[in-house]
Structure 1
Amino acid sequence: MSDVIQLLPDAIANQIAAGEVVQRPASVVKELLENAIDASSDHICVIVKDAGKGLIQVKDNGTGMSETDARMSFARHATSKIRRAEDIYAIHTLGFRGEALASIAAVAQVEMVTRTHNQEFGTCLSIEGSSFKDSEPVAAEIGTSISVKNLFFNVPARRTFLKSNAVEMRHIMDEFFRVALARPDISFEFYQNDTLTYNLAKGKLSRRIAELLGDSYRKQILSCQEETPSLKIYGYIGMPEHAKRTRGEQFFFINSRFIKNSYLNHAVMSAYEAMLPEDSFPFYALFIEIDPAEIDVNVHPTKTEIKLADERTVYAIIRAAVKRALGTNLVTPSLDEQRNEENHFSVLSRVSRGGSHTYQDDNDNSQKAFKQHLALKKADTSQWESMYHQPQDSSYFNFDHGTEEKKESENALTFQSAANRMPSGASLFHDPAHGSSEQPFQIHQNYIMIQVKSGMMIIDQQAAHERILYEHYSLALERRTPGHRSGISQQTLFPQTLLLNPSDLVLVQELREEINALGFDFTIFGQNTIVINGVPTDIKGGNEKEIFEGLIEQYKSYQSDLSSNKRESVARSIARRMAVKRGQKLNPAEMSTLIDRLFGCLHSDYAPDGRKTYYILELDQISGFFK
C-alpha cells in the first residue's frame, strides 16, 4: 500500500487555521483592535462597510513596523511576544500566538501600511489569499493601517453561511464595545458606512461607560473595588432598581482582556441576592488584575475563555466586593465627575489576612442568610396574594412579569382574537369525549385539575398558556405583509423610553417588521434609545418596557440555543414572556377560559418547546391506586 499521508500546502493550512480564528467579520475587528492596542496606540479608528464583508479598516498611531517585521507578521506563528515556553505564562498582551494576521490574509484581500517613528517612509504590503502581491515604500503617518477587503472571497461556502448585515453588524458592535470599554485610556472612532457612530475621547472609566451606554448611567452605577495580595478588583456595578430584563451589559475583564465566565458571573449575581426582580440582570463592568501565571488564556483561539488556578478564591473575593459596594454605596451618589478617579474607587480596600478563608467564611455565612431570606420571602408572598384577591367573575388571565409588588390586575391580559377562542358549543366542558360540567381548580397554583368523562385531566398552566399565545402570535406574524404593520396596536397614554445597548438596538432594527406585526409600535430616538408608542391590545399599560425587554432577551436565548427561524423564535419569545407563570393564582373563570382556548389550538398537546400541556388520569389508573 502506498503512503497516503502528506503535508498540507501552506495556503490550505492557513485557511483551516482561519476557520478557528476568523469565524465572522467581528473576529477580524477583534483581532485588529487587539493588535493596535498591543502596539501602544492611544488613538484607534475603525471603518466598517457592508457589515465587514466589503471592508474592515483599523488605523492606529502605535509604534508601527519595519518592512521586515511587516512581512513576518503575516507568517504563521510569528510573534514578538514569546521567546520560550515559560513566556506563555507571563502574557501581558492581548495577542501572542501569531495566528491573527496569517489567518485573516488567508481568506481576504489585505493591505497594510505601516511606519515607525525613525523611518522617513512607510511600507505598503498587499496580500491576497496568503500570497504576497506587492510591497513598496509609501508616504505614511507613524503607526499602522490594515484594510481587510472582500472577506472569504476565496471561500464562498464560508461567505454563504454569514448572517444578514444586521446580525453581523451587531457582532461587530459587540466586539468594538468590549474593547472600547476595556481601554478608557485610548480614544476610539468608529465609522459605519462612512457615518461616524462613535467618537470616544480617552478619560475615566466612568466617562467611557456614559459615552457607550448613555448619560443616564452616571446616576445608575456604583464604584466597586477590592484589593488583596493575590488580586485587585475595580470597576462599576449597576444599582438593583436599574437592572434590565435583558442580558448583554455584564462585562468581566482580566488583565484588560474581556472574558466569558459563567462561574464568576454567578458570584456577582449571588451578591445581589434578593435585591433583583425575577429574570433581571444588573449592569457590571469589573476589572480583575491578577498574576498572569495564575491564569491560562490559551484555552481557545478567541481567548475569551480562560482557566483560573484558584477559581473559588476569586469567586469569593468578587462576591464580597460586590456585596460591600452595594451596602456602602446605595445611600450615596455613585458618580461625581469633579472627583478624581482615586476617590471613585475609595469605597473599600480590605486586605485578606488569612488567604482565602476570610472570604470563604463570608461566602458561607451569606449563603445561610440568603436561604433564611428565601423562607421569609415565601411567607410574605402569601400575604401579597391575600391583599390582591381577584373578583370571581373576571374573564382575563393575570400575568406576573417578575414584579411581585404590582397588583395582579395591573398585569392582566385579555385575548380577543378569534384564533384563540373555541367555536360556540365546542367548550371542553361539553365535549362528548370528555364531557363534564365540573368547575376546574388549581393544585399548588401550578396545575389545573378538571373532571372529564374518562377520568381526571391535569393541565400545566404555564405550558398551556404558552401554546395559546404561540399560535396567536404565529398567526399574526404569518399574516404580516413586508413593509407594513399588521399587528393591532393600542397607543400608550405616555410613551415609554427604553435605553438599549448597541447590539440589542441592532437586533431590534433587524426584527422591526416582526415586532410591529405583534402590535408593538416604536421609533428610534437618539443613540441607543427607542420610544414605545404602542403595544399589542393584549397587554395592559404599565409594563410595556418589561415586556419589550423580555421579548428581546428571550429571542436572544432561543437564537443561540435553537435552530428555529426568525418568525418562530419571535412567536416563542413573546409567548414565553407573556404566559402565566408557575405559582400564579387563577380564579375559576380564568381557568375555564384557558382550558377552552387550549383546546381551540391546532396542537393543544404540546407547548412550543415540546413540553406536554396536559395528561389524563384514566378511571382505571385511579382505581388501580387503591387495589
Structure 2
Amino acid sequence: MTDIIQLLPDHVANQIAAGEVVQRPASVVKELMENAIDAGASTIKLIIKDAGKTLVHVIDDGKGMSVTDARLSFERHATSKIRSADDLFQLHTKGFRGEALASIAAIAHVELKTKQDHEEVGTCIEIEGSTIVSQEVIVTPKGTSIAVKNLFFNIPARRNFLKSNTVELRHIIDEFHRVALAHPNISFNLFNNGSDVFNLPSSNYRQRIVNIFGTKTNEKLVPVDEDTEVLKISGFVGKPEFAKKTRGEQYFFVNDRFIKSAYLNHAISSAFDGLLKNGTHPSYFLNLTVNPQTIDINIHPTKTEIKFDDEHTLYALLRSAVKHSLGQFNIAPVLDFDRDATLDTPYSYKDNGASIPKIEVDRSFNPFKEGDAGLGKQTTSFKRQTQATSHWDGLYVGLESKGNDSPEDFSEMYFESEESSSSLFDDENEMDKVQTTHQIHSKYIVSAIKSGMLVMDQHRAHQRILYEEFLQNMTIKEGASQQLLFPLQLHFTPQELVLIEQLKTDLQRTGFVFSNISEASVEIIGVPVSVPESEVSIILEQLISDVENEVPDSHFSATDLLAKSMAKSLAIKTGQTLKKDEQEHLVNRLFACKEPNVSPTNRKTFITMSVDELDKKFI
C-alpha cells in the first residue's frame, strides 16, 4: 500500500496559518501595530483605505531592522522575542510566535521599508503571496514602514466572506482603541481614505480615554487604584448613571495586553450590583499587572484570552477594588457606623460662620408695679399671640338654626372623585364587550380563532407592526414629528457621530429633527410621534450598535436596518401587562401587516393550534 501522508508545501502551510492569524483587515492592523510597539516606537501612524481591503499601512519610528532581519522576518516561526520554551512564561512583548508577517505575506502584496538608526540607507522588500519580488537598498527614515495591499487577493473565497466597509472599519477602530489605550505614552494617528480620524498625542491614561471617547467622558470616570502582592489594579470605571445598553466601552488589559474574560467581567458586574438599570452594562478601563509566570498567553491564536493560575483570587480583589472606589467617591451608598448623620452641617449653611446670640432685656420691668403684675408686660422681643376668649358667646352671632326639614339643607351635594387617567383606547361599552383575547405571563397573547386558537408573541408582533410603519414613513417621506419643549443634547464618540451623520437623512424621514451636530454632541429638537423623549438616547445607541455589528450584505439598505433597529428598541417588551383593548388592537394590527407571520429578524410572531390538536392532548 502506498504512503498517503505527505508534507505540505510552504505556500500552502502559510495560507493555512494565515487563516488562524489573519481573519480580517483588523487582524493585520493588530499584528503590525504590536510589532511597532515592540520595536520601541514613540509615534505610530495607521493609514487604511477601503476599510483595510485595499491598504493597511503602518509607519513607526522604532529601532528598525537590518538587511538580514528584514528578509528573515517573513519566514515562519522567525521571532526576536523568545529563545527557548521557558521564555513563554516571561513574556514582556506583544508578538512572540513569529507567524504574523509570514501569514500576511502569504495572502497579500506586502512592501517593507526599514532602517536602523546607525545605518545610512535602509532596505525595501516587496512580496506577493509569499514570493519575494524584489529587495533593494533605498533611502528611508529611521524605523519601519509596512504596507499591506489587496488582502486575500489569491484567496477570493476568503475575500468574499468579508463584511461591508462599515463593519470592517468598526473592527479596525476597535483594534486601534485596544492598542492605543494600552500605551498612552505613545502617539497614535489613524487616517481612513485620506481623512484624519484620530490624532492621539502622548498623554496620561485618563487623557487618552478622553481623547478617544470624547470630552464628555471625563465626568463619567471613577478612578480605581489597588496594589497587592498578587495583583495591581489601576484605571477607571464609569459611573452607573452613564451605563449603556451595549458593551462597547469595556476594556481589560493584563500587562499592557488587551484580553477578553467573561469571568473577570462578572466581577465588575457584581461590584455594580444594585446600581445599574436593568439591561445596562458598566464601562471600565482597567489595567491589571500580574507576574508573567502566573499567566499563560499562548492559548488562543489572537492572544486575547489568557489562563490565570488563580482566577478566584483575582475575581475577589477586582470586585473589592471596584466596590471600594464606588463607595469612596460617593457613587454607591455606604454604611459608616462611626459617623452621626444628624451632626452633619446642612449644605446651605456650610460656608456660613456661627452667629453670636443676642439677648434683649426690658430693664424697666417691675413685677410689683401696678399694671405689671401677673405675667408682667410683654417685651417687644417675645410677644405671645393669644386669642381673646372673654367674649366667646359673640362667636355664634349671625348663625341661624334651621330645621332638618328645611328644603335648603343639602339641596345640592358634590362628591370628590379621583381623576380618571386616560387610556390608550376608549373604554366605552366595556361591559358589553366579550373578551376574546387573554395574556399569559405578560408575554403571550392567546386568541380564539375559527379553527382553534392562536398564540402570539407580543414583542415580536409589535416589532413587525412598527417595522412596516417606520419603513413606510421613510419610503414615502411623511414621518410625523413632535417638537420638544427643550432641545435634547446627546453626547457620542467621534466615530459614532460619523455614523449618525450618514444616517441623518433616514432619521429625519422617520420624524427626528436635528438642530446641530457638532464634534462631540447631537442636538435634537423633534422626535417621531411614537417615540418618548426618554427613549431617544437608547434608540440611537442601539442603532449605532446595529450599524456597526449587524449590517448584512450590500443588498440590505440603511433604511431597512434603521427601521429594524427602531422597531426593536420601541416594541412592547416581554413582561409588560396589556389591557384587553390593547391586546385586541395588537392582534388586529399584526394581521393588517403585509407579512404578519415573521418578525423583522425572521422569527415566528405567532403559532396556531387546531381543535383536533387540542383534543389529542387529552387522549
- TM-score bracket, normalised by the shorter chain, equals 0.7 to 0.9
What's the RMSD between the two structures over aligned residues? 3.5
**2:216 and 2:491 in contact (8 A); partners too:** no
Deviation at 1:618? Answer: 7.3
Structure 2 partner of 1:120: 120
Larger Rg: 2
Identify which range, 456-465 or 51-60, moves more after superposition: 456-465
Structure 2 partner of 1:419: none
Structure 2 partner of 1:583: 575
Deviation at 1:587? Answer: 3.1
**Distance of 1:198 and 1:490 partners within structure 2:** 36
Deviation string, structure 1 residues 391-437 (Cα, Å, up to 9, x no partner): 364239xxxxxxxxxxxxxxxxxxxxxxxxxxxxxxxx9xxxxxx83
| Selected match of 1:549 from 529, 532, 541 | 541
Q: 1:438 to 1:159 in 2, by over 3 A?
A: closer
Q: 1:303 to 1:584 in 2, by over 3 A?
A: same
Identify which range, 208-217 or 459-468, moves more after superposition: 459-468
Q: 1:620 to 1:65 in 2, by over 3 A?
A: closer
| Selected match of 2:435 from 423, 438, 451 | 438
The percentage of aligned residue pairs carrying the same residue is 48
Deviation at 1:132? Answer: 1.7
Structure 2 partner of 1:496: 488
Structure 1 partner of 2:196: 196
**2:512 and 2:524 in contact (8 A); partners too:** yes
Identify which range, 541-550 or 99-108, moves more after superposition: 541-550
**1:455 and 1:619 in contact (8 A); partners too:** yes
Deviation string, structure 1 residues 488-515 (Cα, Å, up to 9, x no partner): 5445454433333455455556656665
Identify which range, 449-458 or 437-446, moves more after superposition: 449-458
Deviation string, structure 1 residues 29-78 (Cα, Å, up to 9, x no partner): 11110000011112111222232223222111211111111111111110
Alignment of 1:364-443 (within 5 A): 391=421, 393-395=423-425, 437-438=434-435, 440=437, 442-443=439-440
Q: 1:7 to 1:524 in 2, by over 3 A?
A: farther
**1:33 and 1:58 in contact (8 A); partners too:** yes
Deviation string, structure 1 residues 311-342 (Cα, Å, up to 9, x no partner): 2222222211111111111369xxxxxxxxxx
Q: 1:207 to 1:96 in 2, by over 3 A?
A: same
Structure 2 partner of 1:301: 301
Secondary structure of the residue that 2:36 maps to in structure 1? helix
Deviation string, structure 1 residues 135-184 (Cα, Å, up to 9, x no partner): 22223322211122222233333333333322222221111111111110
Deviation string, structure 1 residues 348-377 (Cα, Å, up to 9, x no partner): xxxxxxxxxxxxxxxxxxxxxxxxxxxxxx
**Distance of 1:124 and 1:625 partners within structure 2:** 77
Deviation string, structure 1 residues 212-248 (Cα, Å, up to 9, x no partner): 1111111110001222211111100111111123321
Identify which range, 25-34 or 568-577, moves more after superposition: 568-577
Deviation at 1:452? Answer: 6.1
Deviation string, structure 1 residues 424-473 (Cα, Å, up to 9, x no partner): xxxxx9xxxxxx83265545544445566777765443333233223434
Structure 1 partner of 2:39: 39
Alignment of 1:104-253 (within 5 A): 104-253=104-253
Deviation string, structure 1 residues 284-329 (Cα, Å, up to 9, x no partner): 1011111222222222221112222222222222211111111111
Q: 1:459 to 1:531 in 2, by over 3 A?
A: same
Structure 2 partner of 1:466: 463
**Distance of 1:493 and 1:70 partners within structure 2:** 64
**Distance of 1:282 and 1:110 partners within structure 2:** 41
- The letter of the residue matching 1:391 is S
Structure 1 partner of 2:402: none
Q: 1:133 to 1:200 in 2, by over 3 A?
A: same
Q: 1:131 to 1:447 in 2, by over 3 A?
A: closer
**Distance of 1:524 and 1:160 partners within structure 2:** 39
- The letter of the residue matching 2:539 is I
**1:532 and 1:544 in contact (8 A); partners too:** no
- The letter of the residue matching 1:315 is Y
**1:438 and 1:450 in contact (8 A); partners too:** no
**Distance of 1:473 and 1:288 partners within structure 2:** 46
Deviation at 1:85? Answer: 1.3
Structure 1 partner of 2:94: 94
**Distance of 1:231 and 1:174 partners within structure 2:** 26
**1:56 and 1:147 in contact (8 A); partners too:** yes
Q: TM-score when scaled to structure 1?
A: 0.75
Structure 1 partner of 2:390: none
**2:538 and 2:569 in contact (8 A); partners too:** no
**Distance of 2:549 and 2:192 partners within structure 1:** 27
Greater helix share, structure number: 1
Q: Any stretches of 5+ residues in structure 1 without a counterpart?
A: 333-387, 397-428, 430-435
- The letter of the residue matching 1:394 is L
Deviation at 1:207? Answer: 0.6
Structure 2 partner of 1:279: 279
Q: 1:242 to 1:65 in 2, by over 3 A?
A: same
- The letter of the residue matching 1:466 is Q
Secondary structure of the residue that 2:153 maps to in structure 1? coil
Q: 1:79 to 1:263 in 2, by over 3 A?
A: same
Q: TM-score when scaled to structure 2?
A: 0.76
Q: 1:626 to 1:161 in 2, by over 3 A?
A: closer
Structure 2 partner of 1:329: 329
Matched, 1:66 2:66: yes
Q: 1:194 to 1:565 in 2, by over 3 A?
A: closer
Structure 1 partner of 2:254: 254
Structure 2 partner of 1:354: none
**1:167 and 1:506 in contact (8 A); partners too:** no
Secondary structure of the residue that 1:285 maps to in structure 2? strand
Task: Count residues in correspondence.
Answer: 528
Matched, 1:595 2:592: no
**2:191 and 2:197 in contact (8 A); partners too:** yes
Q: 1:24 to 1:589 in 2, by over 3 A?
A: same
Secondary structure of the residue that 1:590 maps to in structure 2? helix
- The letter of the residue matching 1:256 is D
- The letter of the residue matching 2:56 is I
**Distance of 1:557 and 1:124 partners within structure 2:** 38
Secondary structure of the residue that 2:287 maps to in structure 1? strand
**1:246 and 1:552 in contact (8 A); partners too:** no
**Distance of 1:486 and 1:150 partners within structure 2:** 43
Deviation at 1:200? Answer: 1.3
**1:169 and 1:506 in contact (8 A); partners too:** no
Deviation at 1:615? Answer: 6.0
Deviation at 1:204? Answer: 0.7
Structure 1 partner of 2:527: 535
**2:58 and 2:145 in contact (8 A); partners too:** yes
**1:260 and 1:305 in contact (8 A); partners too:** yes
**Distance of 2:522 and 2:163 partners within structure 1:** 24
- The letter of the residue matching 2:150 is N
**Distance of 1:449 and 1:159 partners within structure 2:** 48
Q: Any stretches of 5+ residues in structure 2 without a counterpart?
A: 333-417
**Distance of 2:183 and 2:7 partners within structure 1:** 42
Deviation at 1:252? Answer: 0.8
**1:213 and 1:528 in contact (8 A); partners too:** no
Secondary structure of the residue that 1:275 maps to in structure 2? coil
